[in-house]
């Protein structure tokens, strides 16, 4: 899949692993932004091969349950194809939201995309 750079996110690849970096324009993922981003990401994830995805949330300072639902949908799509979704670069508030909802048990978190890619590469591509 080709690299994509939209106003909402950037899609890059490292070692055949897709990295979606959410744009600073979506710093606060409120309902309006989540709705705009959701359909784009769900469609994009259908075509990621291998089904391994890092979502870099370094630019995001706030999200709520509606964005967690989007992440869950993406994770579910990838799991059906025996893949995995991991998160990286979470700001403190966002990390707390994931932990409070116990979704840190579902999605591994890493301090940066390099460690996230290394984890996925070692687990699936080695």
Q: How far apart are CA 59 and CA 100, in angstroms?
A: 21
Q: How far apart are CA 118 and CA 8, in angstroms?
A: 25
Dump pLDDT digits (tens) for 46-66. 999 999 999 999 999 999 999
Contacts of 124 (CB under 8 A, 6+ apart): 50, 52, 83, 84
Reported in sequence order, the residue ranges of 1-83 that DSSP labels E, i.e. its strands, are: 4-5, 9-14, 17-22, 28-29, 52-56, 62-63
| Element at 87 (helix H, strand E) | strand 84-88
Report the pLDDT value the prediction gives residue 5, as an integer from 0 to 100.
72
Which domains does the chain carry? Answer: 4-110 (3.30.750.24)
Dump pLDDT digits (tens) for 96-120. 999 999 999 999 999 999 999 999 9
The gap from C-alpha 106 to its chain's centroid, in whole angstroms, comes to 13
């Amino acid at each position: 899949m080709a690299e994509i750079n939209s106003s909402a996110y950037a899609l890059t690849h490292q070692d055949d692993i897709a990295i979606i970096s959410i744009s600073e324009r979506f710093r606060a993922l409120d309902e309006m932004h989540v709705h705009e981003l959701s359909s784009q990401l769900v469609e994009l994830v259908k075509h990621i091969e291998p089904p391994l995805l890092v979502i870099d949330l370094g630019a995001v300072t706030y999200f709520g349950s509606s964005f967690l639902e989007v992440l869950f949908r993406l994770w579910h799509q990838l799991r059906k194809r025996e893949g995995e979704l991991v998160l990286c670069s979470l700001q403190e508030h966002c990390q707390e939201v994931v932990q409070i909802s116990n979704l840190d048990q579902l999605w591994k978190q890493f301090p940066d995309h390099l460690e996230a890619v290394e984890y996925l590469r070692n687990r699936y591509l080695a």
